[in-house]
Amino acid sequence: MTDRPISTVLVANRGEIACRVFRTCRDLGIATVAVYSDPDAGALHVREADAAVRLPGAAPADTYLRGDLVVAAALAAGADAVHPGYGFLSENAEFAQAVIDAGLVWIGPPPGAIEAMASKTRAKELMGVRPLADVTEADLPVLVKAAAGGGGRGMRVVRELSALSGELAAASAEAASAFGDGEVFVEPYVENGRHVEVQVLADTHGTVWTLGTRDCSLQRRHQKVIEEAPAPGLPAALVEELYERSATAAKAVGYVGAGTVEFLVADGRAHFLEMNTRLQVEHPVTEQVHGVDLVALQIQVAEGAALDPEPPRAHGHAVEARLYAEDPAADWAPQTGVLHALEFPAGPGVRVDTGYACGDSVSVHYDAMLAKVVVTAPTRAAAVRKLAQVLDRARIHGPVTNRDLLVASLRHPGFQDPALLGTGFYERHLDELTRPRDGGAHAAVAAALAAAAARRGRFGGGWRNVRSQDETRTYGPHEVRYRPLRGGGHEVTSPPGVRVLAAAPDRVRLEVDRVARDYDVTAYPDGTVHVGPHRLAVRPRFTDPREQTAPGSLLAPMPGTVVRVADGLAVGDRVTAGQPLLWLEAMKMEHRVAAPASGTLTALHAAPGRQVEVGALLAVVQPGERADVPTEAQEEAPA
């Protein structure tokens, strides 16, 4: 900490959080410096910074996790301060010390405080909580958790004692890859508790703010999806307990700056989870209800300013949804591709934080989050309703996203009633939340008629004297049949009951059951068509080559890197359906790839470090009791 004013800040991060910090810096009249990997050379955070320094390479371990390169970049660009954002090096005490040793201002807590709380095992000991040592059947279910880092990586729920050793190894390997520290521990797993956290902010003059609560219970794979402030429905006495324990934790380690203390609330009790010694992804909901800029306060504290004796009070309610490029119906598989459109309805109480703009590409190298959409309103019900509407009306064109899941979640009775909130929300409701949304058939009609209008505009044509067969166009499960009319326009013969009022290449008006609706249509060269919130894909005339693979073929479900293969796995082994064979890393998460059937492993084309595209052949499992194993010459990996 220092008493000198900061003039130039380097953000040791990328994407949304870098853009977020730059926005506050501009408001404060502070110059900005970005760092970027090779895949991020044209990224939004690079375009928005006053200066940018390249970190050669693509993998985080070679770029954003290289503290020495980041410090050198700050010095080369003339920065006098470093903001770590969240993730990467944000909770690395050695990096914080290196920044300070280089004569730069560290916009974060003291290295000693980071060190004390960085290891979850040490943090729990500090709070009087001991992890499990020897796990027995009576302790199940348990949670295996990485001692360093966060974001759901290095976490496994274990329900059978026989699976514990394998999950410990898997969690350790993932933690080592993500954080450079393979230490893991085991703690009791509380089923369907509420994830509640307290925002703290402390200065160098002894003042510690507890700046309200947040509920982050809706999670997939231990990563948060929807967050809100304040946490609804908590008894006043429990809130005071949370504040007291959070302030005690901050004071115990001499904390300075912004941090978060996390708890699992179950049966009216709060169980300490960890303290995150950084700014949280979900910090905007706290900012919205308390009327503060936490990044500005971080900078002011780093400059030596004192906080007011008491924090500002909360007003209203804020809800945040994380928009991801992923397919929840396909085991949350991350998606890549060009983001053709990312536009949200503007209005009072609507805030969007993003690291993308229209035309940017979503790559396989980093987190799949596209944007955080935040809505603030006087009441929780009003904020939830408005956020669902903002997401529903947004133009999000490109890769598959979790937008429909977010809308369905916000409108689900299990979310709208705070008494039903819990971390098991998606385990209970995912099937119903990922059903195709209503209106897909009529969206397909609009897409087909818009395509017909576009063809007519390019090539001419219209009604013919000889009645022709219906034209057919198929989008996913929806088949549309229509024919041109003598006086112009079209008649839809399937699905029934649809009357065409107008059709242009970009807009179609349909009448169904006497109700007229307009459909905005945008088609892209890759065959995807967006009709309002519906994302449609033209069914190809020819079979996808991936559908012609031999039975038992195990194909890469996403682009990524093979990070490991199951211990001892070799061609000729017997495997069972669902048995994990290998793991792919994509967008900062590990994805388990399992045997598609029980049988014999007859081919294995995966080795750690191999990069694969969607549909790449990883292995072949020949179903049945016996299988012919190819010779070494036959076993060469495909080009």
| pLDDT 10s digits, 323-376 | 999 999 988 988 999 999 999 999 999 999 999 999 999 988 888 999 999 999
CB 296 within 8 A of CB 325: no
pLDDT for 426 equals: 96
In sequence order, the β-bridge partners of residue 374 are 320, 351
In a domain, 636, yes or no: no
Answer whether residue 28 shows pLDDT above 80. Answer: yes
133: CB partners within 8 A, 6+ apart: none
Which has more pLDDT, 610 or 45?
45
Does residue 634 form part of some domain? no
**pTM for the model:** 0.85
Q: Note the pLDDT tens digit of each residue in 498-516.
A: 999 999 999 999 999 999 9
Q: What percent of the chain has pLDDT over 90?
A: 67
- Record the tokens describing residue 622, joined without a space: 């020949």
Q: Is 278 a catalytic residue?
A: yes
Together in a domain, 356 and 213: yes
**Structure confidence at residue 626 as a pLDDT band (50, 70, 90):** low
User: Do residues 210 and 246 both lie within one domain?
Assistant: yes
Do 135 and 60 share a structural domain?
no
Q: Are residues 54 and 141 in the same domain?
A: no
Q: Which amino acid belongs to residue 337? A: G
CATH code (residue 131): 3.30.1490.20
Whether residues 268 and 333 share a domain: the answer is yes
Give how many domains the chain has, as a whole number: 5
Mean pLDDT of the chain: 90
Same domain, 250 and 323: yes
Q: State residue 613's pLDDT score.
A: 79
Q: What is the pLDDT of residue 491?
A: 94
**CB environment 525-545: b (16+ within 10 A), e (fewer):** eeebbbbbbbbbebeeeeeee
184 and 44 belong to one structural domain: no
563 in the same domain as 527: no
Please say if the pLDDT value at position 18 is more than 50. Answer: yes
Q: pLDDT tens digits for 364-419?
A: 888 899 999 999 999 999 999 999 999 999 999 999 999 999 999 999 999 999 99
Which residue in this structure is represented by tokens 């979790």? 402
Strand partners, 529: 523, 536
pLDDT band at residue 1 under the 50/70/90 scheme? low
- Residue-range definition of the domain harbouring residue 166: 117-188
Sign of CA dihedral 166, 216, 176, 355: positive
At 252, list the tokens: 């115990």
Q: Are residues 429 and 445 in the same domain?
A: no
- Choosing from 508, 532, 556, the residue where a domain stops is 532
pLDDT at position 638 is 36
The domain spanning residue 342 has which CATH number?
A: 3.30.470.20
What would the two tokens of residue 362 be? 């979503």
Contacts of 82 (CB under 8 A, 6+ apart): 9, 10, 11, 12, 70, 71, 74, 99, 104, 105, 106, 107
**pLDDT tens readout for residues 236-294:** 999 999 999 999 999 999 999 999 999 999 988 998 989 999 999 999 999 999 999 99
pLDDT-derived band at 639, boundaries 50, 70, 90: very low
Task: Quote the pLDDT of residue 629.
Answer: 46
Which has more pLDDT, 135 or 81? 81
Q: Which of 411, 433, 455 is the last residue of a domain?
A: 433
Q: Looking up tokens 């004297």, which residue turns up?
A: 465
Give pLDDT, residue 558.
75
Q: What count of Cα atoms within 13 Å lies in the side-chain half-sphere of residue 477? A: 7
Portion of the chain with pLDDT greater than 70, in percent: 92
φ, ψ (nearest 5 deg) of residue 375: -125, 135
**Torsion angles phi and psi, residue 300, rounded to 5:** -65, -40
Q: Which of 14, 278, 473, 564 is catalytic?
A: 278
> What is the pLDDT confidence band of residue 542, given thresholds at 50, 70 and 90?
very low
pLDDT tens for 286-316 read 999 999 999 999 999 999 999 999 999 999 9
| Rounded Cα–Cα distance for residues 599 and 622 (Å) | 5
Does 285 lie in the same domain as 210?
yes
Query: Do 391 and 348 lie in a common domain?
Result: yes
